[in-house]
Structure 1
Amino acid sequence: MGKSSKAWLKIAGAACFEVAWVIGLKHAATPWEWAGTVLAIIISFYVLISASSRLPAGTVYAVFVGLGTAGTVLADMVWFGQPFHTGKVALIVLLLSGVIGLKLATGDGAKKQTKEVS
């Protein structure tokens, strides 16, 4: 697996931790839950910063926020009883299409940037 592929996986992992800390901000009630929320924030941003050393920062952040937003909305519907709305799901699909488009458009540029840095 190439270095830029690992960076994209890091972004996906960071987005998962983003979903965890966003949920924690809303639902944490005990000191242990708050500690978990803070830990998720630290891990999320550490991994995000790590990934941005290999890929363009603007694209990394847009993908991170897009995946985190989609994950948070889906988690609200699946685990916290938020009502399912077709329009919401359609907008998530549109958001993810943009995120995938950014990833595809950045693929070649990231390889060139990595070679120049190395």
Structure 2
Amino acid sequence: MSPAIAWLLLVVGGLFEIGFTTCLRFVDGFRNLPWTLAFLVSVSISMGLLAIAARAIPMGTAYAVWTGIGALGTVMVGILWFGEPLGAARLLLLIGLIACIIGLRLVAG
């Protein structure tokens, strides 16, 4: 697999991580079947894509980027859709997280 495809799969997997963490808000102890199914599908796709991407990207880098995308996206979902606060400190930390994700991509080789 080409490195470009591996990185694309990793990013898509990170986006599905945002999906499964968002679903967790609604699963209600896994009693809400539609949200539970959405969670299970999202987590399966997300981790499957991470596993595939990690064949071509160093595992530590792949995991850190995957987690970073998921964390950043989940925070953004919280801010945009659930009214969570965005203060100056939180914004600076998110910018730092973005810089770390980009930095890991640049040094991964």
Asked if Structure 1 and Structure 2 have the same fold, meaning a TM-score greater than 0.5 normalized by the shorter chain, the answer is: yes
User: How is 1:1-118 mapped onto 2 (pairs within 5 angstroms)?
Assistant: 3-29=2-28, 30-107=32-109
Relative to its length, the structure with more helix (as a share) is: 1
Q: TM-score, normalised by structure 2?
A: 0.92
Deviation at 1:6?
1.0
Q: Percent identity?
A: 30
Look at both structures and tell me which one has the larger radius of gyration over its CA atoms. Answer: 1
Q: Quick one: distance in 2 between partners of 1:101 and 1:25? A: 29
Q: Which amino acid aligns with 2:88?
A: T
Q: Which amino acid aligns with 2:78?
A: D
Q: TM-score, normalised by structure 1?
A: 0.85
Q: Which amino acid aligns with 1:54?
A: A
Deviation at 1:28?
2.5
Aligned residues: 106
Note the aligned Cα RMSD (angstroms).
1.2
Structure 2 spans left out of the alignment, 5+ residues: none
SS at match of 1:27: coil
In structure 2, the residue matched to 1:114 is: none
